[in-house]
Structure 1
Amino acid sequence: MTDNLYSGEKFTDEESAFLRHVRFGELPPRPAPEDLTTTTESETDPRPHTPPEITPAIQG
């Protein structure tokens, strides 16, 4: 399937970088270190633990 999409051309790293720039443009500026925050993983699930409602018409 990917054979149809691949043209078979080989590009140098510089050519690939140029084509990426043409396709996607420039990257946004990097955030300042003071703008970064740390994250903490949580074990709790904020969703309620209730079973879904069973509709007899759907269940058959």
Structure 2
Amino acid sequence: MYRHILVTSDGTLFSDPALRHAAELARGVSARLTVLHVVPDAHLDLSSGDEPE
């Protein structure tokens, strides 16, 4: 059914249930799971090689 599942997380308690559900679903159908952690207000200039502020 699913081969690859993408789930986003901002690290809050509200995102934990979605992450657990996605992990259980991925395990149940032998799918790959990718977690995208969202960091609000992070500014990064990749062109200059700067570190995140």
The TM-score range, normalised by the shorter chain, is: under 0.3
Structure number with the bigger relative contact order (C-alpha 8 A, sep ≥ 6) is 2
Hey, which of these two has a bigger chunk of strand by percent? Answer: 2
Which one has the largest radius of gyration?
1
Hey, which of these two has a bigger chunk of helix by percent? Answer: 1
